[in-house]
A and B are shown apart, each in its own frame.
Chain A
């Protein structure tokens, strides 16, 4: 049986080639992770991740078209709509519990998770924009078991640690990619550099993390 498989956290030898040992990461983004023991059986591995821009930024979001959209999906879409996809700070993610089919309480939990993270991000990097606007500008995502409420008190207790953990090294990115995993056997992280025709002499960076192993047949819009 696997949870955060293999249970000792070791990456299977045939998958190690897919895990980068270094990377080039975009300027102004910081990432972190923390352990909130969202799933009781996970006593070892980080299960909270935060990816944030040090300044408010443009954002875009695609989500599942499943009619039973999980609470964090509804909440993130609402945040994006309210702020017209601009001045977004980042996204807080938990693994271990999907916060799906959890009704009004689930939406309140997702909102609490996003709000506390956003408030702490604002304290860390205050901006003029944020001083005038108290609304939440941090997205929220969850993955894991469906039909169970989030242990929101445990999560909230660890969000300060999560924000304190932010950094921009390869290790920060890799740990964060690991924290969003469920039955994945390895963290999925890529980074790349590129140039654009109208910006001579400037090298841009792109980095991304993803997770998924089962319940995979996406049809996002």
Chain B
């Protein structure tokens, strides 16, 4: 279960507060996954008491203050959400799945989710196996109208140390993978999987989902959680 409580002493009008929380949630807590199970209890509350500026006008929607508050809150909640993924049960890796050049944002999100929740992708990451075939498989079965074009799809690993990306698949064609370099990249705690779904010049649809690997420890923890 995910629980979250956020408090600020900024003066924010209640309707603005609701929209701020909803918008920030959609690009933070709703973009993480550990095991693909949606809890019965997930809740995030945001409180604003205005105590830092008593007697001031309250922040309302569409103002410059609202836009700034939206940036602050979204960035703050993204950082909180990432902490959950870093502490996923049994997790040893923090993985960013970024899907670009999709037909729209929804399609990009669906594809990113499909990769991020694939048990076989996640076990390969735990085993430090650069198994890009499993990533493609998860892209291919993503539900809904995702308009996948196999001959335009590219997949890379982006190393956390800022070194050059490792291309695994380019326009549907597998690349000669330097297994030693792949192993080095997969040794790092952080990893980004970059998927380009087309060769479009303009990046129409893009989405990022944060996930972790899937280890023996997850089964150990959850095999007897209730008792």
A residues in contact (CB < 8 Å) with B:
1-2, 5, 14-15, 18, 25-29, 51, 53-55, 57-66, 68-70, 72-73, 76, 84-86, 88, 90-91, 93, 98, 100-101, 139, 141-147, 180, 182-186, 188, 190, 192, 194, 196-199, 202-221
Cβ-defined contact, A66 with B65, below 8 A: no
The answer to whether A184 and B87 touch (CB under 8 A), given A85-B14, A208-B77, is: yes
The answer to whether A206 and B8 touch (CB under 8 A), given A26-B52, A194-B72, is: yes
Cβ-defined contact, B53 with A202, below 8 A: yes
The residue from A58, A211, A216 contacting B37, defined by CB atoms under 8 A apart: A216
Cβ-defined contact, A1 with B220, below 8 A: yes
Q: How far is the CA of A96 from the CA of B107 in the complex (A)?
A: 37
**Contacting residues, chain A, for B20 (C-beta < 8 A):** 60
Interface size on B, residues (CB 8 A): 74
Cβ-defined contact, B83 with A188, below 8 A: yes
Chain B residue at minimum C-beta to C-beta distance from A146? B40
29 examples of A-B residue contacts, CB within 8 angstroms: A1-B220, A58-B14, A58-B47, A60-B46, A62-B22, A62-B43, A62-B44, A64-B38, A66-B39, A68-B40, A72-B41, A73-B41, A93-B3, A188-B87, A192-B72, A196-B10, A202-B53, A205-B8, A206-B8, A207-B7, A209-B4, A214-B37, A215-B34, A215-B37, A216-B85, A217-B32, A217-B34, A217-B35, A220-B30
Interface residues of B in 13-55 (CB under 8 A from A): 13-14, 17-18, 20-22, 25, 29-30, 32-53
Cβ-defined contact, A214 with B30, below 8 A: no
B88 interfacial contact with A, CB 8 Å: yes
B161 interfacial contact with A, CB 8 Å: no
B97 interfacial contact with A, CB 8 Å: no
Binary contact readout B62-91 vs A (1 if CB under 8 angstroms, 0 otherwise): 011100110011001101110111111100
Cβ-defined contact, A183 with B47, below 8 A: no
Q: Closest CB of chain B to A79's CB: distance in Å? A: 11
Cβ-defined contact, B65 with A198, below 8 A: yes
Q: Closest CB of chain B to A5's CB: distance in Å? A: 8
Q: Closest CB of chain B to A198's CB: distance in Å? A: 5
The answer to whether A91 and B45 touch (CB under 8 A), given A59-B17, A220-B29, is: yes
Cβ-defined contact, A183 with B43, below 8 A: no
Q: How far is the CA of A2 from the CA of B25 in the complex (A)?
A: 29
Q: How far is the CA of A139 from the CA of B4 in the complex (A)?
A: 12
Cβ-defined contact, A26 with B49, below 8 A: yes
**Contacting residues, chain A, for B49 (C-beta < 8 A):** 26-29, 53-55, 57-58
B163 interfacial contact with A, CB 8 Å: no
- A-B contact count, CB below 8 Å? 278
**Contacting residues, chain A, for B3 (C-beta < 8 A):** 93, 141, 143, 180, 210-212
B145 interfacial contact with A, CB 8 Å: no
B residues in contact (CB < 8 Å) with A:
1-10, 12-14, 17-18, 20-22, 25, 29-30, 32-53, 56-57, 59, 63-65, 68-69, 72-73, 76-77, 79-81, 83-89, 117, 189, 218, 220-222, 224-226
Cβ-defined contact, B68 with A91, below 8 A: no
Cβ-defined contact, A210 with B84, below 8 A: yes
Q: Closest CB of chain B to A72's CB: distance in Å? A: 7
Cβ-defined contact, A216 with B6, below 8 A: no
Q: Closest CB of chain B to A183's CB: distance in Å? A: 6
**Contacting residues, chain B, for A27 (C-beta < 8 A):** 9, 49, 51-52
**Contacting residues, chain B, for A66 (C-beta < 8 A):** 38-40, 42
Cβ-defined contact, A214 with B222, below 8 A: yes
Cβ-defined contact, A65 with B226, below 8 A: no
**Contacting residues, chain A, for B76 (C-beta < 8 A):** 190, 192, 206, 208
The residue from B5, B9, B37, B40 contacting A51, defined by CB atoms under 8 A apart: B5
